């Protein structure tokens, strides 16, 4: 699926959330392109797996804060295309982000930065983890913490293509923008180490990926 030209419709009923360490993804999308914008070709030294994840567990807080810029993307793109840098404390929507981390093979990083976990993937990776927020609600995503969580089953129509085209992903300076083709779409959770055993339970139904006609020839209508 190609940004910005697709939507995802699904019905999600979270019955048990999995505890405070459960990163429950309303949607997790993944792609792969190199830092020079070219498609991945299997070279684990230069390929980068990119993920965008909307976390809806209300116990997941924003690590991106004015006093912790290392967990924020360098800038935020508004729905109208304006760029807000993370040090613009009166304008940057810190609570819209849980965490951003950059690929370990990037050569021109803007300080401060945090490298994504180099051990959970055979190649470098980049994560943009977002939280329910009015910034994303314009694309059909939850507007506030608790929306769509346990006891609040909902049917969502998410303009995933439009939202994902707004997100910051690293590219080398002077590089032509990468073609963002998302090869994986997932719903569910990752439960991190917890002292008590935790259980998550959910159902997904009516799952559809909507791609408009005419994407290849430049027109589009759903």
What's the per-residue H, E or C state across 56-98? CCCCCCCCCECCEHHHCCCEEECCCCCEEECCCCCCCCHHHEE
H/E segment holding residue 203: strand 200-210
Reported as a single tens digit per residue, the pLDDT across 46-99 is 999 999 999 999 999 999 999 999 999 999 999 999 999 999 999 999 999 999
Interval 148-168 mean pLDDT: 97
Round to whole Å and give the CA distance between 152 and 132.
14
Confidence at residue 119, expressed as pLDDT on a 0 to 100 scale? 81
For residue 127, pLDDT over 50 is answered with yes
Average pLDDT, the chain: 93
Interval 194-217 mean pLDDT: 85
Per-residue pLDDT band for 193 (boundaries 50, 70, 90) equals confident
Interval 20-30 mean pLDDT: 96
Alpha helices in the chain (DSSP H): 134-137, 160-166
Confidence at residue 195, expressed as pLDDT on a 0 to 100 scale? 74
Confidence at residue 215, expressed as pLDDT on a 0 to 100 scale? 61
Confidence at residue 216, expressed as pLDDT on a 0 to 100 scale? 53
């Amino acid at each position: 699926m190609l940004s910005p030209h697709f939507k995802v419709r699904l019905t999600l009923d979270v019955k048990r959330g999995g505890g405070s360490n459960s990163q429950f993804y309303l949607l997790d999308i993944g792609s792969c392109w190199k830092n020079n914008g070219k498609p991945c070709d299997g070279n684990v030294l230069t390929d980068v797996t990119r993920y965008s994840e909307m976390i809806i567990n209300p116990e997941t807080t924003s690590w991106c804060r004015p006093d912790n810029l290392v967990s924020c993307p360098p800038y935020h793109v508004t729905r109208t295309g304006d760029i807000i840098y993370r040090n613009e404390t009166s304008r940057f929507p810190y609570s819209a982000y849980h965490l951003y981390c950059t690929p370990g093979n990037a050569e021109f990083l803007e300080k401060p930065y945090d490298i994504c976990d180099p051990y959970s993937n055979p190649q470098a990776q980049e994560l943009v983890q977002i939280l329910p927020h009015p910034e994303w609600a314009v694309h059909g995503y939850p507007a506030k913490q608790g929306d769509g969580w346990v006891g609040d089953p909902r049917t969502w129509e998410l303009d995933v293509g439009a939202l994902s085209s707004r997100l910051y992903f690293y590219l080398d300076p002077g590089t032509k923008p990468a073609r963002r083709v998302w090869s994986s779409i997932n719903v569910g959770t990752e439960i991190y180490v917890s002292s008590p055993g935790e259980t998550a339970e959910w159902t997904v139904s009516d799952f559809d990926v909507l791609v408009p006609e005419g994407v290849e020839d430049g027109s589009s209508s759903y």
